[in-house]
A and B are shown apart, each in its own frame.
Chain A
Amino acid sequence: MGATGARALVSGDLLVRCVAEIAAADQFILGRQVAELELKVAGLAGWGHAIASASDTGAMLLALTAMGVGSADEIVVPAFGGMPTATAVVLTGATPVFADVDTATMSLDPEAVEAAVGPRTTGLLWSRPLRSAESARVLRELTRRRGLFMLGDTLMMPDAGNTGDAAVAPGYRRGASRLTERAAACAFSLGPESSFGGCADAGMVVTDDGQLADACRGLRNHGQRRRFVHDRIGFNCRMDEIAAAYLLHRIPGLQAELATRQSLAAHYAERLRPLAPQVRIPAQEVCSSAGQGYVILASRRDELRDYLSSEGIGAGACPAVPLHLEPAFARLGYKPGQFPGAEFLARECLALPMHEGLRLADIRHVAGKITCFYQGNGA
């Protein structure tokens, strides 16, 4: 069944054609293909501007830097989340301040955000839909009162077939601007492990703010206003034409792929729900599942993972350590027990295989093995 998120829909012909076309055009980086991809993604996601970058970390780095984030700032980051976001915050020189998450939705807990915000806090990163309209209201009030900006660190292309509730999923839709006075942008991955499934690390920023978009465009290319004149200390954070051409070829099939994944997710849910309370299914955006796998919360998670592995089923912790306990942030002085929600999720979450190549029989097989495990036949 292969590793979590393994891909079955890659055509050698397509790849050869992309490379040959780009080579013949003598245009390599930030060219016609990238411009076309940006237009298409902005349209699909329903944002005014899209800015392509070299990676998801790069996209977030551009957005943060364009917002003026630097070494004087603190940025609130969910303690249960991906390293790419936290890396971006650190690369700006700012200090990440972690906040606990709600275990049912894996998203920021507004009360925890309130506790994390200090005098140097200028913004917060968002990664998953909130639990309720009430949570959204609390957070909106907080960001307005404290003048904080919000950046969406979305796991997938915002609004591409997303089934989440827009009212409580700020950061995912154009409606993000309703959440905060300075709702700014979303950054997401278009890399091989993302739901979009590109052929190289790649990322995108989307925003409705034209000035922010211009700033991101300058920053990704060494801060150049014109060739070799550098207004800002920019980065080399550019998408190449092959990556863009490949993604463009994938767009037409994207909706069908998402539908397939949603149907697979429904089958997982149907078969695994009876295993509660040992197995619980957190709220998740199905189209992100290709990157993350299909996430369940499982008691005796490590034993289950090893058992599945011995049965030839690739499943992984996602992530196995909450960010505040990674050695990378040891200097910030966080302690185990400080964010029980994030620590619980890191202990229990398991990503099951989820990709378009899966068949219903595969889902049945995986769910069957998990059932075996908890009914004492597998452990």
Chain B
Amino acid sequence: MVMSSASPISVPFFSGAASMRADMPLLEPRLRQIAAAGQFVDGDEIRQLEADLSSYIGALHTVVVGSGTDALALMLTAAGIGPGDEVVVPAYTFFATVSSVLHVGADPVMVDVLPGSYGLDPDRVAEVIGPRTRAILPVHLFCQTCDIVSLREIAVTHGLLLLEDSAEAIGMRVDGVHAGLLGLAGVLSFFPTKTLGALGDGGAVITDDQTVASRVRRLRCHGWDEGSRHYLAGGRSSRADEIQAAILRSRLWHLDDDIARRAELACRYTVSLADLEPAVRTPYLGAAKRQSNLVWYVYLIETSRRDELAEFLAANGVGTEIYYPRPLPAQPCLAGLPGARHPVPVAATASHRALALPLYPDMSDAQVDRVCALVRDFHAGERRS
């Protein structure tokens, strides 16, 4: 079972070239303006992007920075998290969630997630809260928010800060409130494959809190304080540039269309793959007090022979990603930390079964059908063998 007999349509894991071509007429004059002004950082495009994003997500403040990873570290510092503090994070997420906690000198405590939403399990969180716990940092992954309402109740009960890794969550809302604004602050990532992606790294801190916002503004440029004309402590170097800001602005106006197209494609996957249950488990809504709307950043299936399926798809021109091959406590550089000692069976199971299929607005229906046909072929072989 090496090559499938179906028609050879290749499906890269991500492509944004067609969208970018369509955006160029809008983008070109802005690029020329940037070049003419010679202002590549800290200019009008960034300020305008911050205003546009604030209005899209309904935040009082958006501070654009160099990457989603930097946004996390800046948010934590601005919230006063530092050495001696413990921050509860999920064991199943991208590395930056936990590395940002380490980079500000705090100690991450990694706990298990719920199946379905892959978000922090509130019961597990409650078990690890101790005298040094300062904050909960939940992550919204793939297509829906985590059980943020329960987590917020825990935070309030124990007097903890709720900070959200909403890097993947643009467009996701709970009771009408955008992800990232349900606690003190949240982040966005504009990594190129994201629902709102730039052509390079980029990120933002989003918050309704004036103090956090003004601290992040200062910290993103070495702690430079315009009022006193001095550098204050805790700064980083994390400026987004005008070109990426202009690109993001040209895409923001069709973000809702992109989200709608992603939903169509996700629905097509789910309908087509439904009868492969239980060999293939399509995404389902996690248990939560209040459900979020769905924003399909990633279409993640679970399947028992995941690595073989990924190889088979690759051999047939279909790109996939494994989100994520290891729970964080099993990462070589994290395994020895005190916060890596909690059992994480749900995360461990998912790390053996999860596979992200291609999903982006430039995909055609035929490409989804091609991926589904290959998944079907793979499992037909399984039934025969």
Contacts and interface: CB of A to CB of B under 8 A. Distances in A.
Given A28-B200, A55-B66, A55-B237, A16 B222 contact: no
Contact of A236 (B41, B70, B235, B332): B70
Given A230-B332, A235-B69, A328-B233, A222 B99 contact: yes
Interface stretch (A3-11, A279-287, A299-307): A3-11
A233 B104 CA distance: 12
Contacts of B222: 57, 83-84, 87, 328
Interface stretch (A137-145, A147-155, A160-168, A238-246): A238-246
B243 A201 contact: no
Interface string A225-267: 0011111111110101111000000000000000000000000
Interface string A324-347: 001111110000000000000000
Interface string B207-251: 000000000000000111000111111111111010110010000
A365 B153 CA distance: 67
A230 B95 contact: yes
Contact of A28 (B31, B192, B239, B243): B192
A6 B38 contact: yes
B20 interface: yes
Contacts of A200: 40-41, 200, 241, 243-244
Contacts of A6: 38
Nearest to B225: A327
Nearest to A223: B333
B291 to A, nearest CB: 29
B144 interface: no
Interface in B23-57: 24, 27-28, 31-36, 38, 40-41
B103 interface: yes
Interface residues of B, number: 62
A201 B20 contact: no
A360 interface: no
A29 interface: yes
A57 B99 CA distance: 18
Contacts of B32: 12, 15-16
B49 to A, nearest CB: 14
B21 interface: yes
Contacts of A241: 199-200
A133 B349 CA distance: 64
A56 interface: yes
Given A84-B222, A222-B99, A192 B233 contact: no
A238 B334 CA distance: 22
A54 interface: yes
B326 A326 contact: no
Nearest to A61: B237
Given A240-B199, A328-B232, A229 B331 contact: yes
Interface stretch (B10-18, B169-177, B252-260): B10-18
Contact of B66 (A91, A199, A201): A201
Contacts of B99: 222-223, 230, 233-235
Contacts of B38: 6-8, 10
Contacts of A90: 233
A22 B33 CA distance: 19
- Most central of B15, B31, B33 by chain A CB within 10 Å: B31
Contacts of B24: 16, 20, 23
Interface string A296-330: 00000000000000000000000011000011111
A344 to B, nearest CB: 19
A210 B229 CA distance: 41
A91 B34 contact: no
Contacts of A28: 192, 198-200
A102 B39 CA distance: 34
Contact of B243 (A15, A223, A331): A15
A19 interface: yes
Contact of A11 (B16, B35, B192): B35
Contacts of B115: none
B73 to A, nearest CB: 9
Contacts of A171: none
Nearest to B325: A228
Contacts of B224: 83
Contacts of A238: 201
A43 interface: no
Interface of A: 6-8, 10-12, 14-16, 19-20, 22-26, 28-29, 54-58, 83-84, 87, 90-91, 93, 191-192, 198-201, 222-224, 227-236, 238, 240-243, 320-321, 326-331
Given A6-B38, A327-B228, 10 more contacts: A16-B31, A23-B16, A23-B20, A28-B199, A55-B66, A84-B237, A229-B331, A235-B69, A327-B230, A327-B232
13 contacts: A7-B38, A10-B38, A15-B31, A20-B24, A54-B201, A83-B224, A87-B222, A199-B243, A200-B241, A201-B241, A227-B322, A230-B331, A240-B200
